[in-house]
């Protein structure tokens, strides 16, 4: 089971305490400038092919974005023209995207009731490099995968 699969299927709970639930989310950052303003680059992505090979990444892909953001807020957006139940995601106060429409009504109700205590997102994907040998790698582009973790009281 890959890391993203584990993240998507994980639900952590503490008896008689907070419960954290993971949801798929959508990133609506279209331009490189928007992504740079919000997302942090995986430091390994900047290493040379030789350095990555020496660190054991042969046969693996290194994604530009692989990061957990804890300075995340979610807000109901009842005046949204597309979906009155929309819940937007902000990272460091900047618009990032939306909660999946199927999950938005329940999350929105929790926001309204004051039972959301904490939020974070995990972003993986984007451009990637695949390491083949000490001096050979390939590159490609990929979509961003975004998982929103919401901790309820």
Q: In the predicted model, what is the mean pLDDT of the chain?
A: 84
Domain annotation covers residue 100: yes
Residue 94 belongs to what domain range?
Answer: 3-8+20-126
Alpha carbons 35 and 91: distance in angstroms, whole number: 11
To which residue do tokens 């995986």 refer?
A: 42
Mean pLDDT of 118-133: 92
Domain annotation covers residue 46: yes
**What total number of domains does the chain contain?**
1
127-132-134-137 Cα dihedral, nearest 10 degrees: -30
Helix (DSSP H) and strand (DSSP E) numbers for the chain: 4, 9
Q: Report pLDDT for 16.
A: 54
Total-model pTM: 0.73
Residue 57 clears pLDDT 90, i.e. is over it: yes
Domain annotation covers residue 83: yes
Domain annotation covers residue 145: no
Q: pLDDT category, 59, cuts 50, 70, 90?
A: very high
Domain annotation covers residue 52: yes
């Amino acid at each position: 089971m890959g890391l993203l699969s584990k993240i998507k299927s994980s639900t952590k709970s503490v008896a008689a305490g907070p419960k954290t639930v993971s949801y798929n989310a959508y990133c609506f950052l279209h331009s490189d400038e928007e992504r740079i303003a919000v997302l942090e680059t995986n430091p390994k992505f900047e290493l040379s092919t030789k350095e990555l090979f020496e660190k054991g990444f042969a046969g693996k892909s290194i994604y530009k974005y692989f990061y957990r953001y804890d300075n995340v807020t979610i807000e109901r957006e009842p005046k949204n023209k597309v979906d009155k139940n929309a819940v937007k995601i902000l990272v460091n106060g900047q618009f990032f995207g939306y909660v999946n429409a199927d999950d938005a009504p329940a999350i929105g109700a929790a926001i309204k009731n004051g039972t959301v205590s904490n939020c974070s997102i995990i972003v993986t994907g984007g451009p990637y490099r695949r390491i083949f040998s000490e001096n050979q790698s390939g590159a490609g582009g990929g979509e961003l995968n975004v998982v929103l973790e919401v901790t309820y009281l």
